Amino acid sequence: MADNNPMFPEAPKTELDQLTELVKKQTKQLRYSRIACFASVAMAAILLVSCILIVPRVMTTIHQFNDLMTEAITVIDNANTTLESFDEMSTEITSAAEGINGLVEENSEVLTESVKKMNSIDFEGLNEAIADLQAVVEPMANFFGKFTR
């Protein structure tokens, strides 16, 4: 009862009591130190295993990403080159179309005039003239044909 009452001072502890209390505290401290040491070793082991398992996969992924980026850059360069070629081809096609337009404009009058002249030809009269020429030439061909045989 003297332990709980502030009126009665606590009896001084003997050296044996103090040593016993010290041993109990040190035993608890040793147990907590062992737990902390075990936890540290376990964390170090987990970290080591993680590094051994994860780091090679991460490095492989990084190398694959670098290869992919290199291929992407190549594809983009090829696309740019193709677009430049399309631009040049478009310019050339535009120039050719302008040249054809100019040629048609320059020769449209000549073509129109030629078509008009072809329409004005009297094909019936030409056929009659050919028939008349054939009638005249045929007896001469027969006459000369006799000498060549």
Q: Do the domain assignments include residue 125?
A: yes
Q: Do the domain assignments include residue 104?
A: yes
Q: Do the domain assignments include residue 32?
A: yes
Label residue 3 by pLDDT band (50, 70, 90): low
* Number of domains comprising the chain: 1
Q: What is the pLDDT of residue 40?
A: 97
Contacts of 2 (CB under 8 A, 6+ apart): 8, 10, 11
Phi and psi at residue 56, to the nearest 5°: -60, -40
pLDDT, tens digit, 9 for 90 and up, residues 55-102: 899 999 999 999 999 999 999 999 999 999 989 999 999 988 888 888
Is pLDDT of 1 > 50?
A: no
Q: What is the pLDDT of residue 28?
A: 95
Q: DSSP of 50-79, one letter per residue? A: HHHHHHHHHHHHHHHHHHHHHHHHHHHHHH
Q: What is the pLDDT of residue 66?
A: 95
**Average pLDDT of the chain, as a whole number:** 86
Q: What is the pLDDT of residue 52?
A: 92
CB 41 within 8 A of CB 32: no
Which residue range is the domain that position 65 belongs to? 15-148
